[in-house]
Amino acid sequence: MAPLEDTDFEAWEVDLHGHRAVYRAAGSGPPVVLIHGMVNSSRHWREVALRLADRYTVIAPDLIGHGDSATPRGDYSLGAHAAAIRDLLVAIGVGPATVVGHSLGGGVAMQYFWQFPERVERLALVSSGGLGPEVSPMLRGAALPGASTAIRAATSERMLSWLSRIAAGLDRRGSDKGTYVHAVARAMRPLGSRGGRRAFVQTLRSVIDVHGQRVSAVDRLYLLGPVPTLVVWGERDNTIPIAHGLAAVEAIPDSRFESLPGAAHFPHLEDPEGLAAVLADFIAGTRPHSIDEAEWAELIAARSVRRRHLRAA
C-alpha cells in the first residue's frame, strides 16, 4: 500500500435539499462508503480510509447533524439518515458500493440496505448498534429528559480543554488511550452549539431509551443472505456487547465474523491498521452482489406466511 502521507482525505461540501452536507473522500477504484457513529464524524475514519485508498474510492459522509454537516430541525431517525446518504451519493455520482457502518452507523448502514438494497454490494458492521437491547449506562442516561443541559456543560470550552490536556498527558506516557480521548474531545466540540446538541439528542433518542436500544434489525437479518456481510467487533468493547455481533453472524447466512483484540468500541481509532486489513481482505475475497426487486420479493416471500383475508366482524 502507498504511504499514508501521500494520500489526501479531502473534505467536500454539497448543498443537499438546501442544507450543507459534508463528506470526505480519498483514493480511486470501486466505492467504499464509511458511515460514522454517535459523537463521531467522517474525520474519525481517516486512518482506515487512507489504508484503503490505494485500491478503492473511499467516501465518508458526515451524517446530517454531525461533524461539519448542517444541524437543521427535522427528522434524525435511521431512515432519514439513510435517505440523506442515498441522496448525497446520487449527487456525487456514486452508485452501488460496499457500505461500512460503525455503532450508530451500523444501524444506518442496515437501514440503508433495507431501503435501497440495489445500492449495497457488501455490508460491513463494526461494533454495530441495532443487534440487541444492551448498551452502556452512559448512553441510556444521555437519552433521559434534561440530557441537553448535561451535554452543554460537558462540551464547554473549559471541559474540552481539560480533555485535551488529559489526552496530551496520556500521549506523553505512551498510553494508547490518548487516541481515544483526543477523538472524544474532537467529536464533542460540535455539541457545543445548540443545533449540534439538538441533533445528537434527537438521533440518540430515535434508537435508545432508558431501557437500552429500542430499534432492532434482528428480525430482518435473513434478508442479508445473498449479500456478502462482515461483522467486526473490538474484544474490549464495553459499550455494545460482542455477543450481539456473534449472534448476528448466526442469523446472517454465509456471513463472517472478525474480532480485534486491541480494540474496544472504536476499532477505527484504536486499531485502524487491523480494521483496514480486515475490511480489505473481506472486499478482495468476496464478489459484489446487489439485490434487485425480483430477488427482494423472493426473499420476503420465502419467510412470509400465506396471506389470508380478514373478514369484518
pLDDT at residue 309 in the model = 73
Q: How large is the average pLDDT for residues 238-266?
A: 95
Question: What span, in angstroms and rounded, lies between the C-alpha atoms of 48 and 26?
Answer: 11
Question: What span, in angstroms and rounded, lies between the C-alpha atoms of 78 and 90?
Answer: 18
Catalytic residue, from 102, 265, 268, 271: name it: 265
Q: How large is the average pLDDT for residues 33-41?
A: 92
Question: All 3 cell numbers of residue 312?
Answer: 369484518
Which residue type occupies 51?
R
pLDDT at residue 145 in the model = 67
pLDDT at residue 306 in the model = 66
Question: What span, in angstroms and rounded, lies between the C-alpha atoms of 121 and 283?
Answer: 10
**What structural domains and CATH numbers belong to the chain?**
4-135+214-295 (3.40.50.1820)
pLDDT at residue 1 in the model = 38
pLDDT at residue 74 in the model = 85
Question: All 3 cell numbers of residue 269?
Answer: 481509532
Task: Respond yes or no: is residue 255 known to be catalytic.
Answer: no
pLDDT at residue 150 in the model = 61
**E-strand stretches of the chain:** 10-16, 19-26, 31-35, 57-61, 97-102, 120-126, 208-209, 212-213, 229-234, 256-260
- Count how many residues are written for the chain: 313
Which residue type occupies 235?
E
pLDDT at residue 164 in the model = 76
Which residue type occupies 69?
S
Which residue type occupies 99?
V
Name the burial class of residue 103, with classes exposed (0-12), middle (13-18) and buried (19+) by CB atoms within 10 angstroms of its CB: buried
Which residue type occupies 147?
A
The answer to whether 111 touches 82, Cβ cutoff 8 Å, is yes
Catalytic residue, from 42, 103, 206, 255: name it: 103
For 15, phi then psi, to 5°, come to -85, 110
Question: What span, in angstroms and rounded, lies between the C-alpha atoms of 118 and 289?
Answer: 9
Residues forming beta bridges with residue 229, ordered by sequence position: 123
Helices and strands in the chain: count of H runs, count of E runs: 12, 10
pLDDT at residue 104 in the model = 95
Catalytic residue, from 128, 182, 206, 237: name it: 237
Mean pLDDT, rounded, of the chain: 87
Task: Look at residue 187 and give its three-state secondary structure.
Answer: helix
Asked if pLDDT for residue 256 goes beyond 80, the answer is yes
Task: Respond yes or no: is residue 237 known to be catalytic.
Answer: yes
Q: What is the largest CA-CA distance in the chain?
A: 75
pLDDT at residue 3 in the model = 36
pLDDT at residue 5 in the model = 41
Question: What span, in angstroms and rounded, lies between the C-alpha atoms of 180 and 140?
Answer: 21
Q: What is the pLDDT of residues 121-179, one digit of tens each?
A: 999 999 999 999 888 777 766 666 666 666 665 666 676 677 778 878 887 888 767 76
pLDDT at residue 137 in the model = 78
Q: What is the pLDDT of residues 43-99, one digit of tens each?
A: 999 999 999 999 999 999 999 988 899 888 889 999 999 999 999 999 999 999 999
Nearest to 274 by CA among 258, 254, 289: 258
Q: How large is the average pLDDT for residues 244-268?
A: 95
The answer to whether 207 touches 104, Cβ cutoff 8 Å, is yes
Question: What span, in angstroms and rounded, lies between the C-alpha atoms of 140 and 87?
Answer: 31
pLDDT at residue 307 in the model = 67
pLDDT confidence of 7, banded at 50, 70, 90? Answer: very low
pLDDT at residue 143 in the model = 65
pLDDT at residue 189 in the model = 64
Q: What is the pLDDT of residues 183-216, one digit of tens each?
A: 666 666 666 666 777 777 888 888 877 888 888 9
In this structure, how many other beta carbons lie within 10 angstroms of the beta carbon of residue 241? 17
